[in-house]
Amino acid sequence: MADRRWESGAAAVAQVNTYVFANTWEADDVVRLIAGNKKKDFTTGSATIATFLATLDPAIDALDDADYPEITGDESGVTATSNATTLTLTANEPGVPFTISLTPLESDLTASGAGTIEGGTTATTGTVATANAGPNVFGTVYNWSGDTVPVDGDTVYLENTDASILYDLDQSAIEPAALYVFMSYTGFVGLPKLNQLGTEYPEYRADYLTIGPAILDVGRGEGTGSGRLKFDSGTDTCAVTVHNTGSPEEPGIPALLWKGTHASNTFTARGNASCGIAFFGGESATVATLSVGGSAEVVCGIGCTLTTVNVDGQARLTLNSNVGGTLTQRGGEVTVNGSATAAQLTLRGGRLVYNSTGTISGNTVLSGDAVLDFSQGVGAVTVSNPIELYGPNCRIIDPNKRVVSLVVDFNESAGQDQVEWGSHVRLTRATPA
């Protein structure tokens, strides 16, 4: 298979959609226009299609750009024209696509004939008369080396350019052998949640590049990197390795955002990487093995399904989701939030801040200089089995007595002064199991 490099540079072409009106209309029928979460109804005012279309297209264009930027915004909206039977919408900005649906709504449900758009009486996005194309469109062939869009088995490279990939992001049918994003790539992949072309509005276009590489490798080489990389591996198996990323483009949102639901996915972050896995609400991801090291920062959203988690170095991992298997920590800091649970905690070093109210099951083990800190959260916590301390340097911090019944086994040279029990407690001596 071939190597494909993102080169960008294709000419921008404005999208054009047509909507053909037919059948029997009445003067008080309604045409409902929807773009994203913005809806606008227009009354026909005439039973003659040509007559009401002649008033519909200027009515659309007259919408206030500040109130309806999805529809009429200079950089992300459309301009309407019409003839005797057809409404035409043309993108105001070549290279920026739109999705606008029109629905015919009858005023009298008993009418003998119902007005149609594109041959039907339900919502239609029209016919694409001219497809969107441009330097930021994945599917525009002239943006790729060899004037060929990647196909299954290709190796894809993003490097040495600041040209972003923003549109035509549903490439779920493509399974490259690998996709490499080098630090020399400083463009964006995917869109922000808020469209910033003019007046802001919630983005309704696809905002992740949905593609299924067997290997997703990010952050090799020299350069400042990208501050927004958004990939969705879908149901394809993906081994993600993140060496470094650029600084996040949006405060509070990691530079690399990834999701994918195959049970065999793996995710490794190291170096100076800023990553989010199923970061936003409503997203989901499955990771069989998550490894975080170096100075990487990784946030797992509530939609993550995690089995094995390994943390070391100076890494920072935030978990808002359950760990179904073993979380092994040798360094860094892990924060567990919400009601996330852990089947097994094995802490050899670093600090684990347990803010969650979820149950800690399994055989919890601390050794080395590991710290298990309950002091920063609120709400009761159940620890199913005694916590095993090995050696004199590991610690448990629970001054507010969040753990409902704290039982600790002191092994080897561990002592009770390694536990902050809180005040007004009873210590009962027994032999560790």
Tokens 């922000």 -> residue: 192
Give the CA count within 13 Å in the CB-facing half-sphere of 426: 3
pLDDT of residue 315: 98
Residue ranges, the chain, pLDDT below 50: 110-112
266/257 Cα distance (integer angstroms): 14
pLDDT of residue 311: 98
Measured CA angle at 141 (ends 140, 144), to 5 deg? 105
243/215 Cα distance (integer angstroms): 13
pLDDT of residue 112: 45
pLDDT of residue 111: 47
CB 279 within 8 A of CB 225: no
Q: pTM of the predicted model, to two decimals?
A: 0.94
pLDDT of residue 430: 78
Task: Convert the pLDDT of each residue in 201-226 to its tens digit.
Answer: 999 999 999 999 999 999 999 999 99
Task: Convert the pLDDT of each residue in 368-393 to its tens digit.
Answer: 999 999 999 999 999 999 999 999 99
Ranges of beta strands (E only) in 211-270 are 215-220, 229-232, 239-242, 256-259, 266-269
320-329, long-range: CB within 8 Å, 24+ apart, which pairs? 321/278, 322/358, 326/362, 327/352, 329/370
